[in-house]
C-alpha cells in the first residue's frame, strides 16, 4: 500500500517549485491533496489561479484526487478556510505542509517596513495561521503531521535577507514549540531546510563569475528532490519523528542541531563590565561562532 494511502494533505504554495513537487509526490503516494496557491509573483504581488489549477489537473490526470485553494496564508480566516475545505471535500485532514513563501530581499539598512512585514506575514504568520487552523481537527482525532519549510538563511545567515532569515529561524522555533505542545495529542511537527532551484532562488544576483557559478550549481538541485522527505514526514512511518530539522540538498540529507550552550564561565563574586572584558570574553572567544553565511557552511558542490 502507498505510504500516504487514505491521508488528506494541505500543501501551501503548491502551484510551483518545491510545493508543486511535494503535492505531486504526495498524491502519487495515495494522499488526497488541497493544493493552495495564491498565484502571485516571487514578491507576493498579483494573483493567478493558473499554476495551482495546473497542479490539480496533473494530479487528477494521474488518477489522484485534489482540489484547488487560492487564498493567502497570511490571512487568519483564509487559513482556517483551507483546513475547512479539506474537511468539507475529503472528510478529514492528516497533514499540513507549510511551504508558501515570498522574497523581498534588501540590505538591512535599506529595508522598508513594508518589505519586512510582507515577508514575516507570509512565512512566519502564515505558518502559524495554517498550523493553528489544523490544530483543532488534529487534536480531536489525536493525530496529525506538520512539515514547515525553514532555511539556512535563518539557521546560518545570509546577506540581504534579514526579513526572510528572521522569519525562517522563527519557523524553526515555531515548529519545535508546536511539537512540544501537541505531543500529548500524538501530533508531530518537523522542519525541512530545502536547497533547490526555484523562482525565489532565481532572484539571487549573478553579477560576478563566482555568483554565476554558484547559481549554476544550485540549478542542479531540482524541487522534486525535496518531496520525498516531506512525504515521509507526513506518513505513519515517521510517527516517532518530531521536533527535528532536516536539510535536503540534491541527494544529501542533513540533520541540523539545535542551539545549546557551548562554553560557560562563572565568578563567585559576580561580574562587572571590567571583569567581563578581562575574564569572561577572553575565555569564551575561542568558542565564538564565525560570521558565516549559508554558502560558507555548505561550500562543496551538491552531491
Residues recognised as catalytic? 164
Vertex 22: Cα angle to 17 and 26 (nearest 5): 155
User: Do 151 and 99 meet the contact criterion of CB atoms below 8 Å apart?
Assistant: no
Phi, psi of 80 (to 5 degrees): -65, -35
Cα–Cα dist 75/70, whole Å: 12
Q: How many CA atoms lie within 13 A of 36 on its CB side?
A: 27
Cα–Cα dist 254/194, whole Å: 10
Cα–Cα dist 92/7, whole Å: 8
Other CB atoms within a 10 A radius of the CB of residue 204 amount to 15
C-alpha cell at 116: 519586512
Q: Cα 76 to chain center, whole Å?
A: 19
Phi, psi of 100 (to 5 degrees): -55, 140
User: If you ran DSSP here, which 8-state letter would residue 106 be given?
Assistant: B
User: If you ran DSSP here, which 8-state letter would residue 116 be given?
Assistant: H
Cα–Cα dist 241/147, whole Å: 11
> Which residues, listed in sequence order, are joined to residue 43 by a DSSP beta bridge?
none
Cα–Cα dist 208/217, whole Å: 15
Would you call 246 helix, strand, or coil by DSSP? strand
End-to-end CA distance of the chain: 31
Amino acid at each position: 500500500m502507498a505510504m500516504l494511502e487514505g491521508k488528506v494533505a494541505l500543501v501551501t504554495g503548491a502551484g510551483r517549485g518545491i510545493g508543486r513537487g511535494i503535492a505531486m509526490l504526495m498524491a502519487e503516494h495515495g494522499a488526497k491533496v488541497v493544493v493552495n496557491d495564491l498565484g502571485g509573483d516571487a514578491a507576493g504581488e498579483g494573483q493567478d489561479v493558473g499554476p495551482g489549477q495546473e497542479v490539480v489537473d496533473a494530479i487528477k490526470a494521474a488518477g489522484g484526487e485534489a482540489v484547488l485553494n487560492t487564498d493567502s496564508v497570511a490571512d487568519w480566516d483564509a487559513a482556517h478556510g483551507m483546513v475547512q475545505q479539506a474537511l468539507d471535500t475529503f472528510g478529514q485532514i492528516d497533514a499540513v505542509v507549510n511551504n508558501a513563501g515570498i522574497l523581498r530581499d534588501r540590505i538591512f539598512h535599506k529595508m522598508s517596513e513594508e518589505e519586512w512585514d510582507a515577508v514575516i506575514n507570509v512565512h512566519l504568520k502564515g505558518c502559524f495561521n495554517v498550523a493553528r487552523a489544523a490544530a483543532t481537527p488534529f487534536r480531536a482525532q489525536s493525530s496529525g503531521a506538520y512539515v514547515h519549510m525553514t532555511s539556512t538563511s535563518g539557521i546560518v545567515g545570509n546577506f540581504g535577507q534579514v526579513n526572510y532569515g528572521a522569519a525562517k529561524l522563527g519557523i524553526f522555533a515555531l515548529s519545535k514549540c508546536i511539537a512540544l505542545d501537541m505531543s500529548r495529542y500524538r501530533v508531530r511537527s518537523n522542519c525541512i531546510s530545502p536547497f533547490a532551484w526555484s523562482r525565489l532562488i532565481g532572484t539571487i544576483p549573478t553579477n560576478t563569475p563566482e555568483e554565476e557559478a554558484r547559481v549554476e550549481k544550485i540549478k542542479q538541485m531540482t524541487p522534486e528532490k525535496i518531496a520525498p522527505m516531506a512525504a515521509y514526514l507526513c506518513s505513519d512511518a515517521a510517527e516517532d519523528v518530531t521536533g527535528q530539522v532536516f536539510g535536503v540538498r540534491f541527494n544529501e540529507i542533513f540533520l541540523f542541531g539545535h542551539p545549546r550552550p557551548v562554553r560557560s564561565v562563572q565568578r563567585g563574586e559576580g561580574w562587572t563590565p571590567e571583569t567581563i572584558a578581562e575574564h569572561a570574553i577572553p575565555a569564551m572567544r575561542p568558542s565564538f561562532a564565525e560570521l558565516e553565511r549559508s554558502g560558507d557552511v555548505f561550500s562543496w558542490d551538491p552531491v
